[in-house]
Structure 1
Amino acid sequence: MPNPRILNRKLHRWGAIATALPFLLVIVTGLLLQLKKQLAWVQPPEQRTANTVPSLSMEQILRAAQSVPEAAVTDWRDIDRLDVRPAKGIVKVTANNRWEVQVDLGTGAVLQAAYRRSDLIEQLHDGSWFADAAKLWVFLPSGVVVLGLWITGLYLFVLPFLARAQKRQRES
């Protein structure tokens, strides 16, 4: 039977190599997502108005989104979602092409239009950008291996302390 200490080191080393690229992607995208409210490049900052009671019709929201050429909205099929923020007085219209149009809930005025990268970064983070199978067959196993690396890394950290304690106990 192989020495458990040597086996642990080998598992730790090969696990780190096997998960290097997927885990690097998870770390980098996770850091960007942590900062999405601070980095306008990742997610456009939310505007604010005094109109906290929504008074727009769905047709007015659609017309506002259509007024932004970059969003390429011609009808409702071009819109991925609406995010209504009454406390901020806005509705965020996210187009299928990832452009976000922020519309004043009271006047229908376009407050801001910008490209939104946070959804793409989230898809890269969980692996779904590659394919749904990548989430289960690459990123999930990588996560399990990284958990194993954490456990074996703790063991490798504690091992010298245990060895010194055993040595002191034998000497006394």
Structure 2
Amino acid sequence: MTSFNPRIWNRKLHRWGSIAVALPFLVVICTGLLLQLKKQLAWVQPPEQRTSVHVPTVTMEQILATAKSVPEAKVASWDDIDRLDVRPGKGLVKVVTVDHWELQLDLATGALLQSTYRRSDLIESLHDGSWFHDLVKLWVFLPAAVIVLGLWITGMYLFLLPFRARANKRRVAPSPVE
């Protein structure tokens, strides 16, 4: 019977842990990179328009009417709208539909400033695993994150091990005779 060697077990855990998290972690890394650049890549998230108005005067009825007037947004009622994002400092309100379409409207008139497909919400749901299913988020992506934390810890241990060994050699080495 072999004895328990922490160095060997650490390496084995590190090796097999990296295999276990390879696919979910690849998804997290790739989507994370896209999310880091979402303000720079219009493909991910549409750039925000600006107006000179900083006090909202547009009514909810005007917002809905403008949203309904954009065919690609497919808005028939408030049920088709996921959220409104009011940005008074930029003079606009973003209307995000359940189909991930983003309409940017003027806060004063409700006029359409921009209409574009918004991918950042989809990428975020891929990033946290909820796009696949809530159970995948909790039973695949969460454990993968815990394993990645363990890989970081074992990796730091493996990185520091040679330094520790050298320090021990210096401490144990006989001092030169004077």
Structure 1 unaligned regions, length at least 5: none
C-alpha distance in 2 between matches for 1:79 and 1:169? 69
User: Displacement of 1:93 after TM fit?
Assistant: 0.3
Q: Which residue of 1 aligns with 2:76?
A: 74
Q: Which residue of 2 aligns with 1:158?
A: 160
Secondary structure of 2:90 counterpart: coil
User: Displacement of 1:80 after TM fit?
Assistant: 0.5
Secondary structure of 1:87 counterpart: helix
Structure 2 unaligned regions, length at least 5: none
Equivalent position amino acid for 1:99 in 2: W
C-alpha distance in 2 between matches for 1:142 and 1:22? 7
C-alpha distance in 2 between matches for 1:108 and 1:129? 32
User: Displacement of 1:66 after TM fit?
Assistant: 1.1
C-alpha distance in 2 between matches for 1:92 and 1:30? 23
C-alpha distance in 1 between matches for 2:67 and 2:160? 58
- Does residue 102 (structure 1) correspond to residue 104 (structure 2)? The answer is yes
User: Displacement of 1:87 after TM fit?
Assistant: 1.1
Equivalent position amino acid for 2:154 in 1: T
Secondary structure of 1:148 counterpart: helix
Say what the alpha-carbon RMSD is for the aligned residues.
0.8
Equivalent position amino acid for 1:166 in 2: N
Q: Which residue of 2 aligns with 1:20?
A: 22
Q: Which residue of 1 aligns with 2:12?
A: 10
C-alpha distance in 2 between matches for 1:165 and 1:142? 34
User: Displacement of 1:22 after TM fit?
Assistant: 0.4
> For this pair of structures, how many residues does the alignment match?
172
Q: Which residue of 2 aligns with 1:36?
A: 38
Q: TM-score, normalised by structure 1?
A: 0.98
Identity of aligned residues (%): 72
C-alpha distance in 2 between matches for 1:108 and 1:79? 16
For residues 122-148 of structure 1, give each alpha carbon's deviation from its aligned partner in whole angstroms, at most 9, with x where no partner exists: 100110001111111001100000000
C-alpha distance in 1 between matches for 2:144 and 2:55? 46
Larger Rg: 2
Q: Which residue of 2 aligns with 1:143?
A: 145
Q: TM-score, normalised by structure 2?
A: 0.94
Moved over 2 A (4+): none
